Structure 1
Amino acid sequence: MKAIRLHQYGKDPVLEEVDEPKITDPWGVIVDVEAAGLCRTDLHIVEGQWEPIQHPSLPYILGHENAGRVREVGSAVNNVSPGDTVIMHPLTSCGLCPPCRLGQDSHCENSTFPGVSVDGGMADQLLTNARAVVKLDDGLDPKDVAALADAGLTAYHAVRKAADELFPGSHAVVIGAGGLGHIGIQTLAAITSAEITVVDRSEEALELAQQLGAHHTVRAGDDDAVASQVLDITGGGAQIVFDFVGEQGVELLAPRLLRNRGSHYVVGYGGESRLPTIEIISREINVIGNLVGTYNDLVELMTLTAQGRVKLHTSIYPLDAALDAFHDLDAGRLVGRGILVP
């Protein structure tokens, strides 16, 4: 089968022929991939940022946002059957460790991470397990939802965690209206009553944000000017700032947009948070990390998607043009999410 494999950090991945996966345990599921999302995390993987965390054996297949049709199942699998259309939770979890028992399967102690630690879905087929597959509503097409498996799920997870703080009259600020942010805006509008302000450097992204439910938009540029505008709009700062960028100095701007007792939800990464400890205690502000969501978060997100309340904006590339997609993402030419279709 065809696959996009990473052979060396700092070098472009390669399209090549590899062996098809095989089921080796009773809970295994093989999926014919119909869509694989391209994420900024893939760029960070190529750069080598994830090697100290996941230690994958090179070469391996990239792709951690995957959807398609079930080809084959192991002897113990009864939640999906061959022919079912599914989206995959990014992690394959065990179901037995303490985090799994608590429903926090994204922190499974025995997980694998297809596309990050083991072979992923930028290929014709993907090996996953029964605990990772979510059946899709009949009206959903894999290529329209694949990137929700990570980007959408991560954005939804952050909003879901913050939802109790976003009551009527509250303010949420979204920094970055791209691949993650445009899903965050929609989920904020769907499950909270907050007034939503979006900050981005792209006029096109800000126009999209308004269409998706943003009440206010601010063009990024001079940080002092941005802070002044946001504090004016929010009447002194937001209860929650969702930072979908997390680098290039944005992570330093975000706390300035909070009111006292507010929370900086870090979703994007690559930068470094720096706050004087006296500011943290005197303002009682929080910095909260957000990993990918749980299996149940993905089920809820698919429900919102089937209801038409969340829609992924995509750019489609054939698998053979994967490197074009990587380069377009790296250069900032993508609006929404890049999707590879084998």
Structure 2
Amino acid sequence: MKALRVHEYNKPPSLDDVPEPEVSGPWDVVVDIGAAGLCRTDLHIIEGQWEPIQHPPLPYTIGHENAGTVRAVGSAVSNVAPGDVVIMHPLVTCGLCLPCRNGQDSHCQNAVFPGLNVDGGMAEQLLTNARSVVKLDGGLQPADVAALADAGLTAYHAVRKAADVLFPGTHAVVVGAGGLGHIGIQTLAAITSAQITVVDRSEAALELAKGIGAHHTVQATSDAEVEKAVLDATDGGAHVLFDVVGEHGAELLAPKLLRNRGSHYVIGYGGEVRLPTIEIISREINVVGNLVGTYQDLVELMALTAQGRVTLHTKKYPLEAALDAIHDLESGNIRGRGILIP
């Protein structure tokens, strides 16, 4: 089968012929990939940023946002059967460690992460596990939901964590209205009552944001102008700010857009959050990390998607055009999410 594989960091991946995966354990599930999402994390993987954390042996297949049709299952699998259309939680988890038993399976102590430390789904097939597959509603198709497996899941997880404090009269700010941000905006509109302000450099992204739930938009120009516009729109700053950029200065601007006792939810990454400890203390502000989401989060997100309350905006590419898609993502030429179709 064809698979997009990283052979050397800071070099473009290549489309290789590799053996098809096979069921070897009782909980194994082999999926024919119908769509694989392209994520900024894939750019960071190619750059080698994840090597010190995950140590994947090279070469390996990338792709951690995957959906498709079940091809084969192990002897103990009862939740899906061949022919079922599924989306995969990005982690393959054990179910036995304390985080798994507490419902925090995104922190499984024995997890593997297809696309980051074992072969992922930018290929014609993927080997996963019964614990990772979510059977899709009959109206949902892989290309419509694949990127929700990580980008959507991460955005939903952050919003879900903050939902209790985003009651009527509060203000949420989303920095970045691209592939991840546009899902966060929709989930904020779906499950909270907050006023939503969106910051982005792109006029097209801000136009999209207006149509999917944003009450106010601010075009990112100078930091001083953005700060003034956001503080005006929110009557003094965000109660919760969702930074889905996490680099290029967005992570440094974010705390300035908070009101006292506000929370900076870090979702995008690549930069560094720098805050004087006296500012954290005197303003009682919080910095909150967000790592993908739980299996339950993904089930809830699929329910919202099936109800039409979350819609993934995509640009589709054949798997053979993966390098074109990567170039377009690097250049900022993808509105929403890039999707690779084997």
Aligned to 1:221: 221
Aligned to 2:59: 59
Taking the TM superposition and a 5 Å limit, the aligned residue runs for 1:11-50 are 11-50=11-50
Deviation at 1:332, TM superposition (A): 0.7
Aligned to 2:9: 9
- The residue identity in structure 2 corresponding to 1:305 is T
Partners in 2 of 1:23 and 1:277 — Cα distance? 52
Give a deviation string over 1:47-95, Cα, whole Å, max 9, x none: 0000001000100001000000000000000000000000000000000
Aligned to 1:159: 159
Partners in 2 of 1:93 and 1:77 — Cα distance? 15
1:206 aligns with 2:189: no
Give a deviation string over 1:247-299, Cα, whole Å, max 9, x none: 00000100000000000000000000000100000000000000100000000
TM-score by length of structure 2 reads: 1.00
Partners in 2 of 1:26 and 1:320 — Cα distance? 33
1:296 aligns with 2:296: yes
Taking the TM superposition and a 5 Å limit, the aligned residue runs for 1:86-165 are 86-165=86-165
Aligned to 1:256: 256
Aligned to 1:241: 241
Partners in 1 of 2:27 and 2:305 — Cα distance? 27
- The residue identity in structure 2 corresponding to 1:140 is L
Aligned to 1:312: 312
1:268 aligns with 2:268: yes
Partners in 2 of 1:74 and 1:167 — Cα distance? 45
Partners in 2 of 1:17 and 1:97 — Cα distance? 36
Partners in 1 of 2:178 and 2:117 — Cα distance? 25
Deviation at 1:24, TM superposition (A): 1.8
TM-score by length of structure 1 reads: 1.00
Give a deviation string over 1:178-222, Cα, whole Å, max 9, x none: 010000000000000000000000000000000000000000010
Partners in 1 of 2:188 and 2:151 — Cα distance? 15
Aligned to 2:280: 280
Number of equivalenced pairs: 342
Deviation at 1:23, TM superposition (A): 1.5
Identical amino acids, percent of aligned pairs:
76
Secondary structure in structure 2 of the residue aligned to 1:34: strand
- The residue identity in structure 2 corresponding to 1:265 is Y
Secondary structure in structure 2 of the residue aligned to 1:185: helix
Q: Following superposition, which runs of at least 4 residues in structure 1 exceed 4 angstroms of deviation?
A: none
Aligned to 1:77: 77
Partners in 2 of 1:157 and 1:289 — Cα distance? 11
Deviation at 1:25, TM superposition (A): 1.0
Partners in 2 of 1:30 and 1:229 — Cα distance? 50
Partners in 2 of 1:330 and 1:229 — Cα distance? 28
Partners in 2 of 1:171 and 1:101 — Cα distance? 34
Aligned to 2:336: 336
Partners in 2 of 1:139 and 1:25 — Cα distance? 31
Unaligned runs of 5+ in 1: none
Taking the TM superposition and a 5 Å limit, the aligned residue runs for 1:170-189 are 170-189=170-189
Deviation at 1:22, TM superposition (A): 1.3
Deviation at 1:42, TM superposition (A): 0.1
Partners in 2 of 1:209 and 1:148 — Cα distance? 17
Deviation at 1:337, TM superposition (A): 0.3
- The residue identity in structure 2 corresponding to 1:52 is P
- The residue identity in structure 1 corresponding to 2:40 is R
Secondary structure in structure 2 of the residue aligned to 1:152: helix
- The residue identity in structure 2 corresponding to 1:300 is E
Unaligned runs of 5+ in 2: none
Partners in 2 of 1:253 and 1:106 — Cα distance? 28
- The residue identity in structure 2 corresponding to 1:269 is Y
Deviation at 1:224, TM superposition (A): 0.6
Deviation at 1:16, TM superposition (A): 1.1
